[in-house]
Homo-oligomer: A and B are copies of this chain.
Amino acid sequence: MRTTTENAQLALLLEVSGTPKPGNVDRVREYPDLRFEHFLAGAVGAREGLAMAADGAPVGAAFVRAVEGMSGQSGGNTQFGALLLVTPLVCAAADGALSPESADAVVDATTVEDAADFFRSFEHVEVAVDDPPASMEPLDVRRGAEAVPAVRERGITLGELMADSADRDGIAAEWTDGFPRTFAAAERLQSLDGPVTDRAATVYLDELASTVDTFVVTQHDRETAEEVRQRAAVVRDGDEDVEAFAEELVDREVNPGTTADVVAGALFVALERGMEV
Chain A residues packing against B (C-beta within 8 Å)? 1-2, 6, 9-10, 13-14, 17, 27-28, 35-38, 40-41, 43-45, 47, 72-74, 195-197, 276-277
9 A-B Cβ contacts within 8 A? A6-B45, A10-B44, A13-B13, A13-B43, A17-B36, A17-B37, A17-B40, A35-B195, A37-B277
Contacts of A6 in B (CB 8 A): 44-45, 47
Contacts of A196 in B (CB 8 A): 37
Query: In the complex the two chains form, what is the Cα distance from A74 to B275 in whole Å?
Result: 11
Given A1-B72, A277-B74; A36-B45 close (CB under 8 Å): no
A15 CB → nearest B CB, Å? 10
Contacts of A43 in B (CB 8 A): 13
Contacts of A36 in B (CB 8 A): 17, 27, 197
Given A14-B37, A37-B14; A2-B45 close (CB under 8 Å): yes
Pick the residue among B2, B40, B195 that contacts A13 (CB under 8 A). Answer: B40
Query: In the complex the two chains form, what is the Cα distance from A17 to B196 in whole Å?
Result: 17
Contacts of A72 in B (CB 8 A): 1-2
Which residue of chain B lies nearest to A75 when distances are taken between CB atoms in the complex?
Answer: B277
A68 CB → nearest B CB, Å? 11
Contacts of A73 in B (CB 8 A): 277
Which residue of chain B lies nearest to A74 when distances are taken between CB atoms in the complex?
Answer: B276
Contacts of A74 in B (CB 8 A): 276-277
Given A44-B10, A277-B74; A37-B195 close (CB under 8 Å): yes
Contacts of A2 in B (CB 8 A): 41, 44-45, 72
A13-B40, A27-B36, A41-B277 provided; 12 other pairs, C-beta below 8 A? A2-B72, A6-B45, A10-B40, A10-B41, A13-B13, A13-B44, A14-B37, A28-B28, A35-B197, A36-B197, A37-B195, A37-B277
